A and B are shown apart, each in its own frame.
Chain A
């Protein structure tokens, strides 16, 4: 995101905090199958998505600054340097986490590495599509024997 006049942006430290927030929103799976947010540059996705959502971006930027401020006051360190439990406690107090989560999920679950880890081919649906088995129309046998369901007029 360019730092255009009138548009707020994160500092380098703010980006570090955002990356740490995203790692808490989507950590790696316990079995190691699915990566955490940090492993797939979700910060880049979020920043690219935000020009269409200036109000949300403003909420995130201010929320990040507030998060670091509270972390310093309570624990003497920036958010990214806190323990996991400390991070979760602070995040539960921030209003921007839920709307940020929505966009984090959208970016995460379209990433090819995540799609492959879910057992799907990491490709768009078109042009290959998917194969499906033929219909077993014998399942309709009992329905066919029913009397008509519509009313005559």
Chain B
């Protein structure tokens, strides 16, 4: 017996699902969100214990394959130099993300027009600008106005503390005359709408017990639930079902006890991230869609973009107090963001300064870099590393390529028997040249800041946390999966609102743009309610 039908069913409660639910709630429609994870308890986050760094290698590791929680599904990423990273809970991957929160540049929506590669988005920066503003207020974004790398924007909170580490690296940027700016961060730096300010604990990547980091369980969801949205946790959707008409009519999901349920809905919205959404669509085969739901273009799962990362560590002679401050949010640089063909590649990258390491992470990282061994020399080598490192990451824009894709693994399944995703991904020549350039520039600025030595890892294998492109947006149904406001070309009551719909990746963290898009799509749904399926 199916559950009572709802008007709108959202699959996934992360960055996009939460923002969409909150925005649509004003319609007073019957809105239900199904989330395969559960509510997190901030009192149990690792940062409350002495073993917090160790838990970042275990039950709070970035990779679902390393965590093995019941809520996780495995990902076969053996055919990719980058490991996929995501988290299933109310709040999704915003529970573990660093909350670095830049916007796209205006040119990131017009890559084909400006640089002759990839494609243009069917929307532009101006279309999203007001939604970026709304998102900044809802998530509590800190930063500083006046950045020459962006059109004018206002943020509700002052920037995060640069600290001794940030100030040291700033000297390098200023010596070279390179752009830098305090990072836009979804981190409250003052008391804000009932949330406490950041206390610089440095535990961002394993959940913020302070509540300062903007995850959607503490930002959008409380507001959405107050106005009547229903959120059911520990409900894992197996497939979206299709009626004889060819429209979707609901989902099949498993509850916490593994019991199968059918939930009927008039509209279904997928907010499962750039791996979870194509996985769900490919698992939703029917006689109308034998190759996967909404996949007549053949593009579901294709054009996966990750942002290849380079990670460069500088070693300094003086203590940097790098264990203090938000882990991934300090300063950013867009010096090499816009295309300059003289560099030998199209598009560009951004730099983000990352903080230093705690005692355990220093040892683990030192071992992995080959700079720390066991035995008689251990303590001397450790003293050269501890609180003497500063990191930079380069976020490179990888271009969409159909060969980079998400498919269904023929053997691997999750704990409910649902086929797991398989990643096939390779770095293009453009990406490789960009990574090389970024490593050289990172070393240059670290040395200008006083680093006595550097160490680079490119591509950084653990950086598969930006998942984009696998159900791309466009006006041509043969070359895209959804239209310019997230509605599937093939199924007019099915929407996709997560990073899958990205046409190109830009060279910055995507969460702010994912949420701005979700808010924009919700706004378009509200404006088109009378003829939503036309």
Contacts and interface: CB of A to CB of B under 8 A. Distances in A.
A105 B378 CA distance: 10
A29 B379 contact: yes
Contacts of B202: 125, 130
A149 B150 CA distance: 7
B338 A132 contact: no
Contacts of B374: 24-26, 97, 101, 104
A109 B366 CA distance: 13
A131 B378 CA distance: 31
Q: Is the interface of B mostly helix, strand, loop or mixed?
A: loop
A140 B209 contact: no
B192 interface: no
Nearest to A145: B148
Highest count of chain A CB atoms <10 Å: which of B47, B50, B362, B374? B374
Q: Bin the interface of chain A by size.
A: 35 or more
B118 interface: no
A153 B110 contact: yes
B148 A127 contact: no
A96 B7 CA distance: 58
A110 B148 CA distance: 43
B181 A124 contact: no
A128 interface: yes
Interface string B181-193: 1100000000000
B151 interface: yes
Contacts of A2: none
B35 interface: no
Contact of A126 (B162, B179, B203): B203
B502 interface: no
A104 B54 CA distance: 11
Contacts of A27: 375-376, 378-379
A83 interface: no
Given A129-B200, A153-B114, A106 B50 contact: no
Interface string A90-131: 000000010001101111111010110010101111111111
Interface in B63-92: none
A105 B161 contact: no
A128 B48 CA distance: 10
Interface in B332-360: 334-335, 337-338, 359-360
Contacts of A148: 148-149
A132 B163 contact: yes
A152 interface: yes
Contacts of B174: 139, 142-143
A28 to B, nearest CB: 8
Interface in A41-57: 52
A137 interface: yes
A65 interface: no
A34 interface: yes
Given A110-B53, A124-B48, A149 B334 contact: yes
Nearest to A29: B379
A140 B159 CA distance: 13
Contacts of A101: 367, 373-374
B210 interface: yes
Contacts of A109: 53, 359-360, 362-363
B170 interface: yes
B301 interface: no
A97 B379 CA distance: 17
Interface in B145-160: 146, 148-151, 159
B325 interface: yes
A149 B167 CA distance: 22
A75 B247 CA distance: 78
Interface string B360-394: 10111001000011111011000000100000000
Contacts of B180: 140, 143
A130 B201 CA distance: 6
A143 B179 contact: yes
B125 interface: yes
B378 A26 contact: yes
A39 interface: no
Nearest to B374: A25
Interface in B92-142: 105-107, 109-110, 113-114, 124-125
A20 to B, nearest CB: 13
Contact of B161 (A88, A126, A132): A132
A60 B182 CA distance: 47
A101 B113 CA distance: 53
B289 interface: no
Contacts of A24: 374-375
B372 to A, nearest CB: 8
List the 9 shortest-distance A-B pairs measured between CB atoms, nearest first: A129-B199, A125-B201, A105-B363, A132-B161, A109-B359, A25-B374, A151-B107, A29-B379, A130-B324
9 contacts: A105-B372, A109-B362, A125-B202, A129-B199, A132-B200, A142-B177, A146-B179, A150-B106, A153-B109
Given A26-B378, A34-B379, 20 more contacts: A25-B375, A27-B379, A29-B379, A101-B374, A102-B364, A105-B363, A105-B364, A106-B53, A109-B53, A120-B359, A130-B324, A134-B161, A137-B144, A139-B167, A142-B177, A143-B148, A143-B179, A146-B179, A150-B337, A153-B113
